[in-house]
């Protein structure tokens, strides 16, 4: 299991940026040193890797890469036409990478405008081609160790690739050693005292104009070809991950992430441990700013769950998991009456309360009207509900003005219903006859 992704704290970590980049075109001359330089910023301080034609450059006698703080250089000790090409400087840290490029052209000795390098002040000693003194008169010539060696290859072969030069050099050296191990018989004996110095000309088949440094760099390149070049890699690291996300059924949701690494990592999405396949409702895209997005359209309840994104390259892998919740709306049910309003009779001045109950999903709300006109708390009536579908209207002191028809309508998003009830207020009738006053009553009902 890979390490959990780091969460970037604003202002503490920054991806690499170049404060000085390579010029797009750089020229040099054969035999002269050539320096490529960039300045890089970032937190932590990025490391710079140099490439030529896409292949990493390793330090050797010919190329020296150096980084001192933000200043990074690539020095070619002695440039040659074959060093021409596209050079890239790549700066990378855990939070990103950035590159800049230059086309390098090295003029050869035969190119117009060529300027030879200044003569070296010191270097390997070259023995003068002076003839050896003749042998003493009493020493007779013998069949020497080198007499039967084949002559050096013709001029055109000496101009061939370094591989041919090394092959000829190896063959000649082996024949030297063979003659030393198995010398031919000596025809005459002689004795003399002296010192014999044998110098091996390693560049015997290389053009005399080829510097020693160039031969050394050729050998270094050959060694790199044999052992391979180890590219500097960075394991994936997520610098942006999504948080737990809620989406409505039938809606669109996007999960964004950003990952760094060298070489560029590959990403695979999983839902509940199973690989996620792209289709018309599930798409995986990469935007220009390097953000990877998983787009889910027409969300369904089956899209809910844990999503895992795994990023992999040759240096390792990283992953994160995020939960997606799909909010499913319940099926609505239109209101129905459980109990309707009833007609109610009260005496003048008494408290009166009328109510009704409706069922539905979601729970309905009520609108009250008196004689077709909407009522509010400011109308002098107390209106209320228990929150479960029961609605009531109350009057503290009933009067003639309250004796009328009342309507309650119940509503939700699926529909509405209505019921009607009346309040009857009893008011005593005043008569001139006391008997009638005691027993007679008149009712007002509207």
Q: DSSP for 175-196, please give it.
A: HHHHHHHSPPPPSS--------
Between CA 117 and CA 123, with CA 119 as vertex, the angle to 5 degrees is 120
CATH architecture designation of domain 333-427: Sandwich (2.60)
CA–CA dist 205, 160 (Å, integer): 10
Beta strands in 158-290 (DSSP E): 234-240, 245-248, 253-262, 266-271, 274-275, 282-286
Domain residue ranges in the chain: 14-107, 234-327, 333-427
14-107 homologous superfamily: Immunoglobulins (2.60.40.10)
What's the pLDDT at 412? 93
Query: For the chain, give me the number of helices (H) and strands (E)?
Result: 4, 28
CATH value of 234-327 in 2.60.40.10, 1.10.3720.10, 2.60.120.340, 1.10.15.40: 2.60.40.10
Confidence tier at 184 by pLDDT (50, 70, 90) = low
Taking only the tens place, the pLDDT of each residue in 120-154 is 544 444 444 445 555 555 545 544 444 444 555 55
pLDDT in tens, 46-93: 999 999 998 899 888 889 999 998 999 999 988 999 999 999 999 998
The DSSP call for residue 10 is T
Task: List, for residues 348-391, the tens digit of each pLDDT value.
Answer: 999 999 999 999 999 999 999 999 999 987 778 899 999 999 99
Contacts of 97 (CB under 8 A, 6+ apart): 15, 16, 46, 90, 91, 234, 260, 262
Give the pLDDT confidence score for residue 105 in this predicted structure.
Answer: 93
> Which has more confidence, 150 or 422?
422
Q: Which residues contact 197 (CB under 8 A, 6 or more apart)?
A: none
Whether the pLDDT of residue 438 is over 80: the answer is no
Strand partners, 62: none
pTM of the model: 0.32
More confident residue, 283 or 428: 283
């Amino acid at each position: 299991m890979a390490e959990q992704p780091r969460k970037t704290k604003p202002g503490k970590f920054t991806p690499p940026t170049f404060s000085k980049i390579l010029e797009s075109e750089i020229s040099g001359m054969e035999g002269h040193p050539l320096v490529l330089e960039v300045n890089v910023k970032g937190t932590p301080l990025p490391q710079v890797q140099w490439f030529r034609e896409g292949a990493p450059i390793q330090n050797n006698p010919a190329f020296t890469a150096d980084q001192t703080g933000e200043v990074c250089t690539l020095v070619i000790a002695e440039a040659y036409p074959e060093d021409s090409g596209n050079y890239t400087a790549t700066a990378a840290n855990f939070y990103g990478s950035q590159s800049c490029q230059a086309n390098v052209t090295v003029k050869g000795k035969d190119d117009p405008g060529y300027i030879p390098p200044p003569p070296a002040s010191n270097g390997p000693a070259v023995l003068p081609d002076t003839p050896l003194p003749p042998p003493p008169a009493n020493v007779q010539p013998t069949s020497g160790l080198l007499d039967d060696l084949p002559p050096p290859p013709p001029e055109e072969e000496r101009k061939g690739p370094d591989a041919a030069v090394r092959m000829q050099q190896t063959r000649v050296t082996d024949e030297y050693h063979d003659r030393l191990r198995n010398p031919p018989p000596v025809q005459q004996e002689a004795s003399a005292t002296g010192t014999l110095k044998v110098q091996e000309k390693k560049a015997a088949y290389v053009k005399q104009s080829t510097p020693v440094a160039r031969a050394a760099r050729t050998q270094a390149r050959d060694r790199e070809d044999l052992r391979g070049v180890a590219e500097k890699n960075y394991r994936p690291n997520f610098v942006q991950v999504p948080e737990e996300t809620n989406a409505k059924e039938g809606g669109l949701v996007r999960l964004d992430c950003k990952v760094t690494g060298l070489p560029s990592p590959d990403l695979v999405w999983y839902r509940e441990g199973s690989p996620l396949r792209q289709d018309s409702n599930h798409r995986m895209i990469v935007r220009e700013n390097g953000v990877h997005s998983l787009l889910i359209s027409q969300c369904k309840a089956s899209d809910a769950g844990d999503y895992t994104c795994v990023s992999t390259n040759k240096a390792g892998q990283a992953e994160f998991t995020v939960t997606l919740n799909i909010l499913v709306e319940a099926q609505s049910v239109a209101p129905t009456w459980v109990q309707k309003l009833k007609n109610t009779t009260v005496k003048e001045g008494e408290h009166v309360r009328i109510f009704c109950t409706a069922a539905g999903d979601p729970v309905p709300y009520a609108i009250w009207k008196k004689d077709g006109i909407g009522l509010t708390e400011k109308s002098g009536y107390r209106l209320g509900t228990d929150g479960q579908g029961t609605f009531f209207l109350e009057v503290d002191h009933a009067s003639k003005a309250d004796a009328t028809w009342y309507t309650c309508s119940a509503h939700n998003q699926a529909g509405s219903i209505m019921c009607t009830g009346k309040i009857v207020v009893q008011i005593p009738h005043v008569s001139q006859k006391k008997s009638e006053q005691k027993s007679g009553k008149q009712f007002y009902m509207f």
